Structures are given as C-alpha cells and as structure tokens.
C-alpha cells in the first residue's frame, strides 16, 4: 500500500463518463482526482492561443512545449490547470480544443513532457486518474484498472445533455456520434500510447447504467483492491 492509498486508473473513449465518474469515486474515497485529458487540452489551448499552426505540432520539441506555460496545482481534491499562470479550466473545454486535441495528444514530445508530471502526481497514491493510457503507460502498476465502455449513441446523448442541447434530436445525435467516433479512431490508432485496454483492466459497460450505478460499481471494485 502506498502512503495515501491505492492508485485507480480509469481509461476509456471520449464521452464514456471517465472524468465525472473518476471525480465521484475520488470524492467517496477522499482521494485526489487527476484528469489527464485536461492537460492535453491545456497544451492544445496554449498552442492555439500562441498561433502555432496545427500542421507544425508534430515537430514540437520538449522546450517548446515547456514554453507554452501550462501548469497545474493541487486544489482541494483535484488539480487547477493554468496557462501562463491564468486559470484555464473553462478555456480548455472550448469546441476548437475538442476539434484539435487528438492531434496534439499524438505528439511524442507532448506525451513525454506530461508523463513525468502525471507520474509524480501518483507518488503517494490515494489517486484516481483517468485518460486513455493511464492503466497501460502512466500507471501500469495501479492496484485497480477500469476500462469504461459505452455505446457511441448513448455517449453522444450524454454529451448533448451536458451542453444543454436536445438529446432526442436524431440529426444532433448523429453529428455528435460522428465527432466522438472520429476522436476514438484518432486516439486508438496513433503510434504513441494509443487508447487501449490493459490486459488486467476490468471492463465496465455503462450503456445501461445510471451515473450512481457506475460510480458504485467502481467503488465495489476499489474496496476489494484496497483490502488487497
Ligand atoms: O478525456 P478528454 O476528452 O478530456 O481527452 C482529451 C484528449 O486527450 C483525447 O482526444 C485523447 C487525449 N488523451 C490522451 O491521449 N491520453 C490521455 N491519458 C488522456 C487524454
């Protein structure tokens, strides 16, 4: 057992509810929540704001990534992401970030730069981290690994509801499903650290589950893992 508890890794595709689930699991266990996607979003936001054309991102060096000024500080049970010292929690959720983040997440220098920061957040344990490669690359030693899946149309409906858009409109559902599956393909087929289920990850299908049910399912697994 680590000083502050176990590490729980939650991976899965876009819109599978990883971050909200991880946050609720962390709150119930009084652990810290690390949303790794937020860091890739922050690097994307900063590169867009600095006017670096997306066609050039693949060649970014570690020093250039460092110069983008992305930072994170523990705040309560989570991390507050900043760019140039300014709070960026809202700016990283903008549609242009959604549209470009997969490209940035495939850049080796960016993944390399973030790896150390993410690993050090887990030094003492007591952490629920979510992303695409948490159980496979960042914390292959996590005591509990969960891989969340959910039918694409249901993920699209949940995303639309979050944005206050009519989740019964079939055109909207179709459009959002295309966006999500496009991102899934980009995240699963890239050369570095693709979205993948670790061999020892527990598969949880949330398609027919209410939010509380999926949180409780993971908490039951966590109790088991904590008891060892
Ligand atoms: O979970 P999210 O939608 O906030 O993630 C944003 C993007 O970051 C997503 O397209 C994939 C990428 N990502 C990644 O490559 N590895 C992670 N561990 C987390 C996110």
Domain of residue 13, CATH code: 3.40.50.300
Ligand 1 pocket member 37 (CB < 6 A): yes
pLDDT of residue 162: 86
Q: What is the pLDDT of residues 102-160, one digit of tens each?
A: 999 999 999 999 998 899 999 999 999 999 999 999 999 999 999 999 999 999 999 89
Q: Which of 12, 36, 40, 163 to mutate to test the pocket of ligand 1 (most atoms within 8 A of CB)?
A: 40
Torsion angles phi and psi, residue 138, rounded to 5: -75, -50
pLDDT of residue 167: 86
Q: What is the pLDDT of residues 178-188, one digit of tens each?
A: 999 998 999 89
The residue-averaged pLDDT of 20-35 equals 97
Kindly give the distance from the C-alpha atom of residue 124 to the centroid of ligand 1, in angstroms, as a whole number: 23
In angstroms, the CA 93 to CA 14 distance is: 13
Ligand 1 pocket member 160 (CB < 6 A): no
Domain with 101, as residue range(s), is: 7-223
In angstroms, the CA 168 to CA 170 distance is: 6
Could you give the number of structural domains in the chain? Answer: 1
Ligand 1 pocket member 131 (CB < 6 A): yes
pLDDT of residue 228: 81
Q: Which of 41, 42, 48, 131 to mutate to test the pocket of ligand 1 (most atoms within 8 A of CB)?
A: 131
Could you tell me what percent of the chain has a pLDDT over 70? 100
Torsion angles phi and psi, residue 203, rounded to 5: -85, 125
pLDDT of residue 58: 97
Q: How far, in whole angstroms, is CA 23 from its chain's centroid?
A: 11
In angstroms, the CA 123 to CA 138 distance is: 12
pLDDT of residue 93: 94
Q: What is the pLDDT of residues 162-221, one digit of tens each?
A: 889 888 999 999 999 999 999 899 989 999 889 999 999 999 999 999 999 999 999 999
Find out whether 7 and 140 touch, Cβ atoms under 8 Å.
no
170 is a domain residue: yes
The residue-averaged pLDDT of 62-67 equals 96
End-to-end alpha carbon distance in the chain: 9
228 is a domain residue: no
Spatial neighbors of 118 by CB under 8 A, at least 6 apart, are 34, 36, 39, 129, 138
Residue 193 — left, alpha, or beta (φ > 0 → left; ψ -120 to 50 → alpha)?
A: left
**Helix/strand/coil for 56:** helix
187 is a domain residue: yes
Q: What is the pLDDT of residues 68-118, one digit of tens each?
A: 999 999 899 999 999 999 999 999 999 999 999 999 999 999 999 999 889
2 is a domain residue: no
């Amino acid at each position: 057992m680590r000083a502050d508890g176990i590490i729980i890794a939650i991976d899965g595709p876009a819109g599978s509810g990883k971050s909200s689930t991880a946050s609720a699991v962390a709150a119930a266990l009084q652990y810290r929540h690390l949303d790794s996607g937020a860091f890739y979003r922050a690097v994307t936001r900063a590169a867009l704001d600095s006017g670096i054309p997306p066609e050039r991102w693949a060649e970014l060096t570690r020093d250039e990534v460092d110069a983008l000024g992305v930072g994170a500080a523990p705040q309560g049970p989570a991390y507050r992401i900043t760019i140039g010292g300014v709070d960026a929690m809202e700016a990283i959720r903008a549609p242009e970030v959604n549209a470009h983040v997969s490209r940035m997440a495939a850049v080796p220098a960016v993944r390399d730069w973030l790896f150390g920061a993410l690993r050090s957040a887990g030094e003492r344990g007591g952490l629920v981290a979510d992303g695409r490669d948490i159980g496979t690359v960042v914390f292959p030693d996590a005591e509990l690994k969960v891989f969340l899946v959910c039918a694409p149309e249901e993920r699209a409906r949940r995303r639309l509801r979050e944005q206050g858009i009519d989740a019964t409109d079939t055109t909207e559902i179709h459009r959002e499903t295309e966006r999500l599956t496009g991102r899934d393909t980009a995240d699963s087929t890239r050369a570095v650290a693709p979205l993948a289920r670790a061999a020892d990850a527990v598969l949880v299908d949330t398609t027919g589950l209410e939010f509380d049910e999926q949180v409780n399912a993971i908490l039951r697994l966590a109790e088991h893992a904590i008891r060892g």
